[in-house]
Amino acid sequence: MLHVKTPEEVLALIETEFAQVTGTELVSLSAAMGRVLAEDIAATEYVPDFDRSTVDGYAVRARDTFGCTDAIPAILPLQGEVFMGEGAEFQLNPEECVAVPTGGAIPRGADSVVMVEYTENYGDGTIGISKSVAPGQNMIFRGDDVYPGKVILQKGRVLSSQDIGALAAIGQVQVPVSRKLTVGILSTGDELVPPEVTPKAGQVRNVNGPMLEAMLGAFGVETINYGIVIDDEALLSATVTKAVGECDAVLLSGGSSVGVKDAACRIIESMGSLLLHGIAIKPGKPTILGKAGCKPLVGLPGHPVAAYFITKLFVLPLLSRLMDRKQEIYTTTAKVTESISANHGRAQYHCCRLERRNGELFAYPIRGKSGLITTLAGADGYFCIDRDCEGLPKGAEIQVTVSQGD
């Protein structure tokens, strides 16, 4: 008999029971945004490939400027000028200077750049310098950013726009990424109707299907929506079998509470193995997890808020495991604005709004039962009350997991 597991036990179960299933593919830079990097990327060249200025000014030897002031400037002959897009194929002579633009190459022999604001062109081929510079000031050296062999991006990273820029800088125009997962979504229940249909008495619109599609899409996962399946065990079994054959993982929304018509648990067990039935969490206790071969099958609660939290806390880590993806979670500290009671023995999650007042961040719990979708709408994040805690007093500091566009 399967016992209810703690959240920590569920995450450990995911680590031991599932492994990476996706292969790899090469994509262009323009198609790499949001994809999961399949291997470490190391530079094969120097970036920048030459010493360059970070300001408009004059390349000098720092020692030739020591001691100069507005009253007693260092006066250096202008040896020449470097233009953008051209190399500095000459040597700077001692006690001379060379005009350089921002990003321009630094000639050999120069070790710093004086900003143009601290110079004066006398018009006779000499430049007056009124502020000394230290060696290395206002310039970057060859390889300061990247050098051959340096790992600039690690395997498992979700590529951002900044990462695309870094790949472009080293000439990595083909990027090895993990193949996208395909996840099947089934919504079960005689009471469900599509969102575009006006519900009759006893009916409700299918909230979980579109919500799960949006969450997984934002996570970089392809989805196949198998629609609404009525509470018919043979039909549900056939649909799940089809989804398992076409997808890397399958989510069943509804059908995981005890009831005559709820057949999801039996179907999952018949297709492979049932790993858990119940998590010590509120909302979301009636959750089931199994696998058919190496493919996970998850039975989510029908209530939208419960389905949301189970997806955030367990389904996304499960999919990260399958993709070998590093999952980034962002948290912040805030003070809760009201006291909250909790059920001892179950971790309890609450959505909240965040507001900054007088330099402090406050979390406003959004009250509501797990069937009320409005507890999710407008939330900036969520926080957890540990299963061994009986509640939080007003003003207690809490860790809020910040929503990231999901």
The secondary structure of 135-188 as a DSSP string is TTTTEE-TTSSB-TT-EEE-TTPBP-HHHHHHHHHTT--EEEEEPPPEEEEEEE
For the record, the structure tokens of 213 come out as: 């599609």
pLDDT given for residue 369 in this prediction? 60
344 has pLDDT over 90:
no
d(Cα 80, Cα 99) in Å, to the nearest integer? Answer: 6
CB–CB of 42/151 below 8 Å?
Answer: yes
Residue 151: count of CB within 10 angstroms of its CB: 11
CB–CB of 36/177 below 8 Å?
Answer: yes
Average pLDDT over residues 394-401: 95
167 has pLDDT over 50:
yes
d(Cα 264, Cα 332) in Å, to the nearest integer? Answer: 38
Residue 394: count of CB within 10 angstroms of its CB: 10
CA dihedral 248, 159, 146, 116 (to 10 degrees): 180
pLDDT given for residue 406 in this prediction? 62
- At 217-269, the pLDDT tens digits run 999 999 999 999 988 889 999 999 999 999 999 999 975 445 434 678 888 88
CB–CB of 130/70 below 8 Å?
Answer: yes
| Amino acid in position 209 | G
Q: Which of 54, 97, 56, 52 is nearest to 73 (CA)?
A: 97
Neighbouring residues of 308: CB distance < 8 A, sequence distance ≥ 6: 211, 215, 376
pLDDT given for residue 375 in this prediction? 75
Strands 331-336 and 360-365 come out as: parallel
Confidence (pTM): 0.83
Highest mean pLDDT among 232-246, 335-349, 362-376: 232-246
- What are the chain's domains? 7-22+180-323 (3.40.980.10), 24-40+154-178 (3.90.105.10), 52-140 (2.170.190.11), 331-402 (2.40.340.10)
322 has pLDDT over 90:
yes
